Amino acid sequence: MIIADPPRCGLAGIVLRPLARTDIDAWHTYLSIPEVTEHTSWSLQGPETLEVLFDQYESPAPHSALRFAIIDERRECLAGTIGLHSRSSADRRAELAYDLSPLYWGRAIATAVCAAVTLWAYAALDLQRVQATVLETNMRSERVLRRCGFAFEGLLRGYRLVRGRPGNFRMYARLAGDSGEPATS
């Protein structure tokens, strides 16, 4: 699903726009860095792995996945992506996923775009629940979610394949009525 009016993240020089097929090479370049995907379920076979995702991103269906490009306006380049998948209009929920080039790690960008997209999803998509699953070794992503007010809900054993092997994932969620304060548990 392509969104004409993406959310604003509030960081100077960082904007969100719909992810485009022209972003595939830059996206694939940083996702090919082992440190970027080692704590995720990404299994890249090449740029064509990302190309296939655009069938979902460009679908007009109301429950289709959507993905935004995180753009560094100063350098005019892709800094990362963030989006919602596994959307259910009936249940008013979706799963949040994001990635960031290592050049942008440690700058609070992931936290800012996570918070912005989550709040936007409640307002623009009428979602009640935004959830995220995190491979149990991905402490960085857990910190991002906690800073954005997501609460830990439990461990999902063998939930998703990680490069051919079942991986354990931690489930986090934030409800539309939650305060947005960082989770303490």
Rounded CA separation 160/133 (Å): 10
pTM: 0.92
Total Cβ atoms within 10 A of residue 63? 13
63: Cβ contacts below 8 Å, ≥ 6 apart: 87, 88, 89
Rounded CA separation 121/32 (Å): 29
Backbone phi and psi for residue 140, each to the nearest 5 degrees, phi listed first: -60, -45
The two three-digit tokens of residue 88, written as one number: 């259910």
Determine the average pLDDT of the residues in 164-185: 85
Q: What is the pLDDT of residue 167?
A: 95
Please tell me the CATH superfamily of domain 14-175, with its number: Gcn5-related N-acetyltransferase (GNAT) (3.40.630.30)
Crossing angle of the two packed helices 109-124 and 139-147, in degrees rounded to 10: 50
Determine the average pLDDT of the residues in 14-39: 93
Average pLDDT, the chain: 93
pLDDT band with cut points at 50, 70 and 90 for residue 182 = low
Strand-pair category, 129-135 with 14-18: unpaired
pLDDT > 90 in the chain, percent? 78
Per the rule left: phi > 0, alpha: psi between -120 and 50, beta: everything else, 158 is left
Q: What is the pLDDT of residue 40?
A: 87
